[in-house]
A and B are shown apart, each in its own frame.
Chain A
Amino acid sequence: MVSEEEFGRYETAWCPGCGNFSILKAMKKALVMSGLAPYEVLFVSGIGQAAKAPHYLNAHVFNGLHGRALPVATGAKLANPRLAVIAESGDGCTYGEGGNHFLAAIRRNINVTLIVHDNQVYGLTKGQASPTSEEGFVTKAQPHGVLSAPFNPLAVAVTMRAGFVARGFSGAVEELATLISLAIAHPGFALVDVLQPCVSFNKVNTFSWYRKRCATLPPDYDPTDWEAALHTALEWGEKIPTGVLYRNDRPSFESRFPVLDKGPLTNVRVDRESYGEIIAAMT
C-alpha cells in the first residue's frame, strides 16, 4: 500500500491561502486511492502557478512549456502506455495558450488525466484575464473589464463527447480526491476542471463565492446521458454543479495501436527481416 507520505512534502512558491494547496492535497489522496506508486505516475505540466504543482510531490515530472502540457503528455503516453499520465496546469495554459491541444486531446481520447486549476485568472503573470474570466472582470490589462465571453471548458468537452468530464472545487478536498481518482481510473481522456480561488488576483471568485454556489450533483444523476450532461455543463451562476458531469466508454487512442499492446516503445527492436523485405520491394 502506498501512503500519502510517499508522495512527499515540499515547500511551495504559492501565496498563503491559495486554492492550489488543497488541490495538491486532493491529488495525493487520489494517487493513494488509485493505488499508484510514485514511479508509476508521470506528471506533465505547462507554465503558471498551477503548473508548479508537480514539483511539490514525488513522481516522474516533465514541467514543460506554457500551453504544451497536453501534447507532451500525449507523446509520453503513446511511448509508454503503462505510465499513468497526468497533465496538470492552469486555465490560461490549458484553455488559452494550449486551446488547440485541448480540443485535439478530447478528439483523440488519449488516456491522459487533465487537471486544470481554474482560477479564472493568470496568476503567475500577475492578474490578467484568462479565457475563463467572466465578462466585465476588471484587471490592469482589462481596465474596462473583460470584453470577451468566457470559455466554458466543460460545455465544450461534453459537446465533443470527451471521455470523462468532471468539475471539482478546491474547497471540497474529499470530493475532489474522489473525482481525480475516478478520472485516473477512466480509460480515456479525462478532464477535471477545478474551481480554484486565487487569493491574490481574483477578488470576485473567492472561497466564499464558490462555497455559496457549488452543489454536488445528486446521486441519481446519470453521467452517461449526453443531453442532460450538456444542460448541466451550461449551468453557471447561482448554482454551479460539481461531480462527474459526463462520461462514455469510447476506446482510448493508444488502444488503437497494436504495437503498444507489447508495452513501451523503448523496448521495440528493429526487425531487420521485415526491413529487408521493405527494401526488396523497392528494387
Chain B
Amino acid sequence: MDSSPTILIGGAAGQGLLTVGQLLSRVLVRSGFHIVVTQDYMSRIRGGHNTFSIRMSSAPIVAPRETVNILIAFDGESVRKHLSHMTNDGIIVMADNVQAETGNHTCLRIPVATLGKPAMFNIMAAAIVATLLDLDDGLVDKTMREELPDSFDEAAAALQAAFSWARNTGVSRPSLRPAGVSAPRMMVNGNEALALGAIAGGLRFAAFYPMTPGTSVMLTLLAHADRMGLVVEQAEDEIAAVTMAIGASFTGAPSLVSTSGGGFALMGEGVSLAGMTETPLVVIIAQRPGPATGLPTRTEQADLEFVLHAGHGEFPRAILAPGSPEQCFELAAHALDLAERTQGPVLILTDQFLADSYRDVAPFRAETITPVYPLELTPHDEGVYARYALTDTGISPRALPGSGKKLVVADSDEHTEDGHITEDLTIRTKMVEKRLRKMELLRNECIRPAFIGADNPDLLFVCWGSVLGAVTEAAEELSAQGIKAASLHFSQVWPLVAESFLPLLERSGAVVVVEGNATGQFARLLRRECGFMAQVRINRYDGLPITPEFILRQLAEKELIS
C-alpha cells in the first residue's frame, strides 16, 4: 500500500460519518501519523452523499489526494461513486447488508447485526480500519471514550466486537509505521485554529450571523468563551454583527466577526465604517462558491476582488490569506494586532476546504503570541482630545471612552480632528490623506510571500491561501521527476509589496498562477499592482479543493509537462 494512504468515509448526512472521521483522525494523530482531512458535504442535514477523507502518512504531508486506499462505505452509493478512485490494492469496508458491485477489491463486509446495533456501523468501521492499520486498540477505546462520552457504553461493546471480528478476518495489513514523533501533536482544522489564534492574540468580543463555512470559528470561540473571558454574540444579521464588533472595539475590546461571502456582502458598510471611524476590526471570510447562495458547503477562492474592494470610499486595509492551520493561528493573532495598530479593518480570507481540514500540528502555545492591548496613547488629562489628530504616520493617538476623562468623539461623517462632523473641504482633503498615510505602515508590516524550492526555477507556481499544500506537493513531485519547480505562496494578498517578490518572478521560467476561481483574480491583481503578467493560469471552480493531481493534470493538458 501507498506510504500515504487515503481513507475515504462516504455516506449520507446523518449517518455518523463525522464521528468515525474525527475518531480515526484523532487516533491517527495520537499514534504519530500526519494527517490531511478533506470534508465534502452537501447542504442538507439528512441524506445526500458526503465524504470525510483522511490522508495519512508517517512523513509530513500538506495536501489532499484523489486516490482512495481504504473506503468506508455507509451505503452502496459511496462504493459506486468512489470505486474508480480506488487503488488496485484498495480495501472496501462496508456493512454486509449493503448492495454494491465492488470489482476486484478486497471487501470487508461487516456482519453488523451480529456485532451490535446497525446504527453502530460507524464505530465498527473505525475498529476495523484501526485494526487494518495496526493501531492500538486501547488508544481507540480511550479516544472514543473522550469523543463520545454520552453513548460510550453502547459504542464500546460494538467496538470490542468489531475488534475481534477484524482480527479473525486475516486481511493483509499495510505496513505503515508512524513517524515516531515523540512530542504530542494536536488535531485542529483551519477554523478552530483561527479561533485559537484570536484568543491567544487577545480577542475579547466576537459577533456573527451563522453562515457556512464561517460559523465554526465562532462555535470554537463560544466553546471557550466563558473560560477565557470573551463575549460572543449571535447577532440578528451580518450588519448587526459587524457594527456590534465596531462598537465593542471602539470601547476597547479587540473584536472579530466571521462569515462567508454572502454575509460579507452585508458587512460592506461596516468595513467602510471601520475605515472612516478608524476603528480596529477583524473580519474572517471563509469563502464558498458564489454568486449568491452558490454551493453553500463547497470551496472556492472567488471573493478576493470582492473583499479587496468591499466598502465604499477609499481607506487602507490589509487582507491575509493563511495556507494552513498553523498560519490560521498565527495570522488571526497578527490580524488583531495589525487592526489595532493601524486602527482599521483587517480581513482574513480562507475557504471551506481549509476551514474544515483537520491537520496535526505542534500544539499552539499562547506564550508565542503577544496579545494586543488596545492602545491608550494619550494621558487622560482634561481638555479636548483629538481622536483624529493629524500626524505624520496618519495614526492618531487612541483613547478609549470610559477609561478616563477625555471625551472620545468618532464620526462616520467626514470630521474634524476632534471627531465632529464637518463639511470644511480643506479638512476633508487632509483627512483623506491622513487615512491613506496608514498604508505606509501596512506596507512595512506586509508579510512577504514564502518561496519554497530551489532558486531560479524553470517552473514557479504562484498561489495564495489554502492552495499552499497542493502547490507544495505538486512542485515536489515535479522536482522528483527532474523538473526544476518551486512555489511562491502569498499569505498576505493586500497590500502587495512588489519589491519583495517581483525579482523572484522575473528570475523564474514559466510562472503558473494556481487559484480556486474561474477568472484568475490573483493573477489579475499581480498584473495590476506589479505589472507582472503570468504566462499560465490553473483555475478550479467546481467547488472542490485543488489537489496536486489536479495541478499536474492541468500542466499536462497545457503541455507544460508530458
List residues of chain A with CB under 8 Å of any chain B CB: 13, 38-40, 42, 44, 47, 52, 55, 58-65, 67-68, 70-80, 82-83, 100-101, 103-104, 257-260, 262, 264-266, 268-272, 274-276, 278-280, 282-283
> Does B470 lie at the interface of the complex (its beta carbon under 8 Å from any beta carbon of A)?
no
B409→A60 contact, CB < 8 A: yes
Q: How far is the CB of A57 from chain B (nearest CB, A)?
A: 10
Number of inter-chain CB pairs below 8 Å: 208
| Across-interface contacts of A257 in B (CB, < 8 A) | 231
Query: In the docked arrangement, what's the CA distance between A62 and B247, Å?
Result: 8
Which secondary structure dominates chain B's binding surface? mixed
> Does B403 lie at the interface of the complex (its beta carbon under 8 Å from any beta carbon of A)?
yes
> Does B141 lie at the interface of the complex (its beta carbon under 8 Å from any beta carbon of A)?
no
| Across-interface contacts of A74 in B (CB, < 8 A) | 233, 240, 244, 247
Q: How far is the CB of A180 from chain B (nearest CB, A)?
A: 20
> Does B531 lie at the interface of the complex (its beta carbon under 8 Å from any beta carbon of A)?
no
| Across-interface contacts of A282 in B (CB, < 8 A) | 186-188, 192, 363
A264→B207 contact, CB < 8 A: no
| Across-interface contacts of A47 in B (CB, < 8 A) | 412-413
**Chain A: CB-nearest residue to B245:** A75
Query: In the docked arrangement, what's the CA distance between A44 and B250, Å?
Result: 11
> Does B39 lie at the interface of the complex (its beta carbon under 8 Å from any beta carbon of A)?
no
Query: In the docked arrangement, what's the CA distance between A257 and B409, Å?
Result: 27
Query: In the docked arrangement, what's the CA distance between A121 and B227, Å?
Result: 47
Q: How far is the CB of A273 from chain B (nearest CB, A)?
A: 9
Chain B, residues 163-190, CB within 8 Å of chain A (1/0): the string is 0000000000000000000001111100
> Does B6 lie at the interface of the complex (its beta carbon under 8 Å from any beta carbon of A)?
no
A279→B233 contact, CB < 8 A: no
Query: In the docked arrangement, what's the CA distance between A98 and B245, Å?
Result: 16
Query: In the docked arrangement, what's the CA distance between A278 and B222, Å?
Result: 13
A76→B243 contact, CB < 8 A: no
Query: In the docked arrangement, what's the CA distance between A62 and B250, Å?
Result: 8
Query: In the docked arrangement, what's the CA distance between A278 and B227, Å?
Result: 10
B247→A260 contact, CB < 8 A: no
**Known A100-B236, A266-B374; contact A79-B252, beta-carbon cutoff 8 A:** yes
Query: In the docked arrangement, what's the CA distance between A272 and B402, Å?
Result: 27
| Across-interface contacts of B188 in A (CB, < 8 A) | 282
> Does B408 lie at the interface of the complex (its beta carbon under 8 Å from any beta carbon of A)?
yes
List residues of chain B with CB under 8 Å of any chain A CB: 29-30, 184-188, 192, 196, 199-200, 202, 204-205, 207, 224, 226-231, 233, 235-237, 239-241, 243-253, 255, 269-270, 273, 277, 363-367, 371, 373-374, 400-413, 419-421
| Across-interface contacts of B205 in A (CB, < 8 A) | 75, 78-79, 265
Q: How far is the CB of B373 from chain A (nearest CB, A)?
A: 8
**Chain B: CB-nearest residue to A103:** B236
Query: In the docked arrangement, what's the CA distance between A280 and B245, Å?
Result: 30
B243→A100 contact, CB < 8 A: no
Query: In the docked arrangement, what's the CA distance between A82 and B363, Å?
Result: 37
Sample of 9 further A-B pairs with CB below 8 A, known A39-B402, A64-B277, A262-B229: A42-B251, A42-B402, A60-B402, A63-B409, A70-B240, A78-B205, A100-B240, A269-B371, A275-B200
**Known A44-B247, A64-B277; contact A55-B421, beta-carbon cutoff 8 A:** yes
Query: In the docked arrangement, what's the CA distance between A42 and B236, Å?
Result: 23
* B204: contacting residue among A64, A100, A266, A271, CB under 8 A: A266
* B363: contacting residue among A76, A101, A260, A280, CB under 8 A: A280
**Known A259-B231, A282-B188; contact A60-B408, beta-carbon cutoff 8 A:** yes
Query: In the docked arrangement, what's the CA distance between A39 and B248, Å?
Result: 17
* B247: contacting residue among A52, A79, A100, CB under 8 A: A79
Q: How far is the CB of B312 from chain A (nearest CB, A)?
A: 11
**Known A63-B412, A72-B246; contact A274-B405, beta-carbon cutoff 8 A:** no
Q: How far is the CB of A48 from chain B (nearest CB, A)?
A: 12
Q: How far is the CB of A244 from chain B (nearest CB, A)?
A: 26
Query: In the docked arrangement, what's the CA distance between A82 and B404, Å?
Result: 12
B402→A80 contact, CB < 8 A: yes
Query: In the docked arrangement, what's the CA distance between A264 and B366, Å?
Result: 22
